[in-house]
Amino acid sequence: MPSYESKNTVAYTEHYKESCFKAWYSAGRPDKVPQILEVIPDDEYGRKPNTRLLPLWRDELGWDVRADELDARANAVVDDEMVNIRVMMLKEHASRGRELGVKGMEYLREHDFDTSASAVSAIFRGSELERTSRGISERLISLLKMPDDKLTEEVQKLLDEASNSGEIIDVADVEEGEDGS
């Protein structure tokens, strides 16, 4: 008579399933089950789910939807960082423009007017650089803080102004969801 060992079946924990999702997502969202099996960890019993269970988890637990949401959040963070870098650069330009204007004024105060063409030029260029850089950075900050409905309203206002001026605007209508949202 054959001897059979008594085996207890232990379900995978929610914590383990979450670990599998994180490993899958961190590995770049591989599509093929063998690739997923390579990147997911063993559970506390040294097991991995079988090739039928993984696709089931992926569907039932909404791995792709969650991953899309995480990707969108990551893209938003990257976009915000790029805007912040741009704002910092413009603030730096404004600061340099102010410094250039101050140096030009100092030169004019200390020297005769006949030799001051470059100082006058520095004052004007510095003032212009400071004015344009401060204006752009402040406008970017205000646009970033606008709620979507106000931002849409602002864009529509600018489009109306441009169309009234006879300016040609290169745009196209986009169906809802066609842009990936």
What ranges do the domains of the chain cover? 14-61, 80-164
pLDDT tens by residue, 149-176: 777 777 777 667 766 766 555 555 556 5
The identity of residue 114, as a single letter, is: D
Q: How far apart are CA 120 and CA 52, in angstroms?
A: 77
Placement of tokens 């100082």 in the chain: 119
* Residue 49 near residue 34, CB atoms below 8 Å: no
**Biggest alpha carbon–alpha carbon distance for the chain:** 116
Residue-wise burial string across 130-168, b where 16 or more C-beta atoms lie within 10 A, e elsewhere = beebbebbeeeeeeeeeeeeeeeeeeeeeeeeeeeeeee
Give this prediction's pTM.
Answer: 0.52
Asked if the model's pLDDT at residue 94 lies above 70, the reply is yes
Q: How far apart are CA 116 and CA 15, in angstroms?
A: 73
Q: How far apart are CA 46 and CA 67, in angstroms?
A: 26
Greater pLDDT, 13 or 154: 13
pLDDT tens by residue, 38-68: 999 999 999 999 999 999 999 999 999 999 9
